Chains A and B, each alone.
Chain A
């Protein structure tokens, strides 16, 4: 084997290790960003998650008031942690509607009793179809929708107290 060729394995290794070091320093972003941001919310007919609680349709999302759409579920542990923050946002005067993903009315009622009910309306999404239509990949996820029903912002994962100012600003900007 010729001289230069003998160094080739070392060079290839350096390239490989370099790329792997870069990857370790920049872990892949596994959040799925919604492609729907900037678009009208998908059209859906009214669904009711709980008897006695107003249901949700796409028309409710274009009633002139910017609001938060919160995808949640009674079986979702981080949603419990998020509940007080949603109550806080409601106190700040932000309208919040919920979409209960793959949930049962009895579980959902208990969840709202235990963790509070900040929602004006709750829609049901038993097959995750709405969730997919919004471009959401998990619970909890929260969207800012403006008064004309256009998706303005996506928040992936539970809302932490630190996120409140950002969300309030986004809701104000959506007016």
Chain B
């Protein structure tokens, strides 16, 4: 039973060995001359401004969360759409209920003012 995992183990060992070897080699072989610019985080070519540990407004999170929730739920509709004809009326009603539940959530979010930026 465990034999079948042997390739995976081999892979892990090889991967680990390779990366360790690369790091160790570069330390041993390469030159090491750090400077302030070299140590600065890479920001796509822009010079970094201020600390990265900055507080974001909670609004971002709420919007992001709502986006993910509704976005993921839309994903569910793709397979449904593909099988729509075969699922027939029942499938249509099921999706209706699903949308209705989403709608309840949407109404709640809207009414609560979660979509308003100010």
Q: Say if A and B assemble together.
A: no
Query: Using a CB–CB distance below 8 Å, which chain A residues touch chain B?
Result: none
